[in-house]
Amino acid sequence: MFSLIKKLRDFYLVKIKWRKYNISSGFHAGRNVHFWAKNNIIIGKDCYIGRNSQIECDTVIGDYVIIGNSVAFVGKFDHNYLHVGLPIRHAEQIRDENYFWKGINAKVVVEDDVWIGYGSIIMSDITIGKGSIIASGSVVTKDVKPYSIVGGNPAKFIKNRFTEEEILQHESLIKSAKIF
């Protein structure tokens, strides 16, 4: 019964609530997940987004991605803060029609087979490379190389997930299993 309710909820989210976004099959979102993007959110096959997470910038997520609970994708330049004499509360925001400042085309790209840990913040205008892991509580402000593990505030390289040989083996096994 619980599985049926989950499937119905996911169907409602994908086909009704978030119909303007491009979400592939096998998607599941925990409770209280919020999407808002100026242009688009694209989510690949078999992705999971944990409860209380938010995507508030243009985003492309690859296949087989796990995003933990309470993760936020946010824009670096969502408010034009350079107006002298204008309170930030009244400055243009990226969602305004007249917004032509930095970040207008900034997005987050999360490649295939990525795990983003609990409570992480991902800033726009970056790419998280294939097979990477983002440690819980990290603030990602720069690109993350494929198959690397990063963590901290700001996120820094910790170690490689696999050796070069293991990466080749991993990708070959996944390809032969027809997962990707």
Distances (CA, A) of 160 to 5, 52, 156, 176: 39, 29, 12, 23
| CA–CA distance, 63 with 39 (Å, rounded to integer) | 20
Radius of gyration of the chain (CA): 17
Residue that the structure tokens 């997962």 belong to: 179
Q: Examine the residue annotation and report whether 90 is marked as an active-site residue of this protein.
A: no
Out of 34, 79, 83, 90, pick the active-site residue: 79
| Listed residue (133, 110, 124, 31) closest to 63, CA to CA | 110
How far from 109 is each of 26, 42, 73, 100, CA to CA, in Å?
19, 9, 10, 22
User: Residue 154: is the preceding peptide bond cis (ω within 30°)?
Assistant: yes
Which residues carry out catalysis? 79
